[in-house]
A and B are shown apart, each in its own frame.
Chain A
């Protein structure tokens, strides 16, 4: 308290006379602001921007990191079949998983919005659980459910007379399994985002549409979807980035197998760079994520700024 009154008494006195001290005040303000953002700058520059640049430099070195071989690592990667299968798998994995997550998330958000408000909280709380458990740990549970000899999923399928599925043994099923786990983990996030967006659509628009004789589908198509378009694209692009760069699910579930066919960029970069010790080539692999991430990031940023302007 005494400190308060002290500064309260002093501060007006320092910048009372004239414009000179006012200028000083402004200067002081920007100095303070700069000091306050300094730790943030240190994190962004030191731990994100510098490593990103350093990664690009690393990818031009040879295996022992003593000689610069330009694009040598990229050329070698382009010549290996494994790399191309990794690139395909990454794209198929990310696109399929994000589409499914968006559809399921939208459907569930829509359904949640329809039930009485009292029950919504409870259901929402229950359906968000997959998102809350650290994915590396819940994937362990899925791994055990996919176990070749004692798969609990196959047990459930056998009730419906479906033959046992070799989940992680065969490439195609392993790929499906990885996508399934990712969809299971990510769909609740879409649901929450879309639910928030649906709730922000003004009720009057629906009333107006109903007066004009719109049926349920038309209300969805011409009122809900246009109002949500921005948040849908932001969420999809954001999730595309995260899914494209996913590592934990592949690492725990298949570790890239069978025959390296479920590797995505991240897990392959880990395999090449850290486990096999070829750091430059690993850096080159992970940098292949950069173009698609940059494109997505550009559109996310555009969507978010547009949204901010609308809200202001």
Chain B
């Protein structure tokens, strides 16, 4: 008797004072989280499983689809030896790097001006930035198709570099305004007294202090331009100018018999850069995600 009371007391002391109700809540919490995790992770896991199957195994269509009987890397090696797939990757990389650079320059400059230098219409412009963020790409792609076509940039990655900033600049500017506005005014007063010019103030004070915000905005710009789908689908139809998303969807999925293993391997490889960035910079990623509504 005394033994049981002692051991149960031990448990309670270890777990804090968990009442019956709280323990129930805990179990419900874990049960829902496990269920959600299974459902949320099932598609990528199944993509991975499929990517390890040979085309023969997929064509067989017998037995449990969630198991691999003879895992092989042939889909990955086929893709990495496929010049067209590598071309998609390079196109995506070029477009994304350029767009991220352009976006960050535009939005850091503008956010600094909007956060610190009150000028005629600055408030209206800040609101306008947020409104443009709410304009979806599917509303603009048809007129932009005409405009890009008029400039002779259809079927070219340069057309994409031109239009992607509409996806990235408004939100990045918006969160940078928030980060810059949270920097105490005393800092720039001190800098002004020391005789710093505006450019010095921006580069030596605001950019270093707001570095977390800049990283979050950069990650946002990167993921958005890497995942962009509407514009490349509308503007690019020649395979050698396609970025990854539309390249995989339109070129790998074209044959009469779908090479499912290769499609899944390609999709996973294409999803890798944003996922890797997310894995390493999760906190910045989440900060950027929540900043739109909670800051700024």
Contacts and interface: CB of A to CB of B under 8 A. Distances in A.
Nearest to A137: B267
B293 A247 contact: no
A7 B200 contact: yes
A40 B110 contact: yes
Contact of B143 (A58, A293, A304): A58
Nearest to A41: B125
Interface in B248-282: 248-249, 253, 260, 263-264, 267-268, 270-271, 274-275, 278-279, 282
Given A37-B110, A184-B40, A301-B131, A138 B195 contact: no
Contact of A129 (B41, B61, B138, B146): B41
A115 B163 contact: no
B196 A8 contact: yes
Nearest to B60: A150
A256 interface: no
B139 A289 contact: yes
B44 A138 contact: yes
Contact of A39 (B30, B106, B270): B106
Interface stretch (B31-39, B70-78, B79-87, B208-216): B31-39
Given A33-B119, A304-B130, A114 B275 contact: no
Contact of A43 (B46, B113, B165): B165
A9 B195 contact: yes
A37 B46 CA distance: 47
Choose among B112, B129, B271, B285 the residue with the greatest number of A CB atoms under 10 Å from its CB.
B271
Interface residues of A, number: 108
Nearest to A191: B36
List the 9 closest A-B pairs by CB distance, nearest first. Answer: A134-B227, A245-B136, A266-B138, A40-B110, A33-B117, A55-B143, A8-B195, A36-B113, A141-B47
Given A47-B144, A111-B29, 16 more contacts: A36-B109, A44-B132, A52-B140, A55-B140, A55-B142, A108-B33, A141-B47, A189-B289, A193-B290, A245-B136, A246-B138, A248-B230, A270-B141, A282-B142, A296-B134, A307-B293
Interface of B: 21, 25-26, 28-30, 32-33, 36-37, 39-44, 46-47, 50, 58, 61, 64-66, 105-107, 109-110, 112-114, 117, 119-120, 122, 125, 127-132, 134-147, 162-163, 165-166, 169-170, 173, 194-198, 200, 223, 226-227, 229-230, 233-234, 245-246, 248-249, 253, 260, 263-264, 267-268, 270-271, 274-275, 278-279, 282, 285-286, 289-290, 292-294, 296
A17 interface: no
Contacts of B125: 37, 40-41
A44 B249 contact: no
A127 B127 contact: no
A216 B197 CA distance: 56
A34 interface: yes
Choose among A40, A248, A301, A307 the residue with the greatest number of B CB atoms under 10 Å from its CB.
A40
A32 B166 contact: no
A164 interface: no
Interface in A169-196: 184, 187-189, 192-193, 196
Given A43-B106, A107-B32, A235-B293, A144 B233 contact: no
B173 A40 contact: yes
Contacts of B275: 129, 132-133
B138 A48 contact: no
A301 B194 CA distance: 39
Contact of A11 (B28, B30, B195, B263): B195
A97 interface: no
Contacts, number: 306
Interface in A41-56: 41, 43-44, 47-52, 54-55
A32 B113 contact: yes
Interface string A103-137: 01001100110110000010111111110111111
A93 interface: no
A144 B37 contact: no
A123 B37 contact: yes
Interface of A: 4, 7-12, 29-30, 32-34, 36-37, 39-41, 43-44, 47-52, 54-55, 58, 104, 107-108, 111-112, 114-115, 121, 123-130, 132-138, 140-142, 144-145, 147, 149-152, 155-156, 184, 187-189, 192-193, 196-197, 200, 216, 231, 234-235, 238, 241-242, 244-248, 251-252, 265-266, 269-270, 273-274, 279, 282-283, 286-287, 289-290, 293, 296-297, 300-301, 303-304, 307-308
Given A129-B44, A192-B290, A247-B230, A44 B196 contact: no
Nearest to B42: A145
A30 B26 contact: no
B190 to A, nearest CB: 13
Contacts of A140: 47, 248-249, 253, 263-264, 267
A266 B135 CA distance: 13
A301 B122 CA distance: 16
A25 to B, nearest CB: 11
Contacts of B37: 123, 126-127
A128 B287 CA distance: 13
Nearest to A116: B26
6 contacts: A4-B200, A134-B245, A137-B271, A147-B260, A192-B286, A270-B141
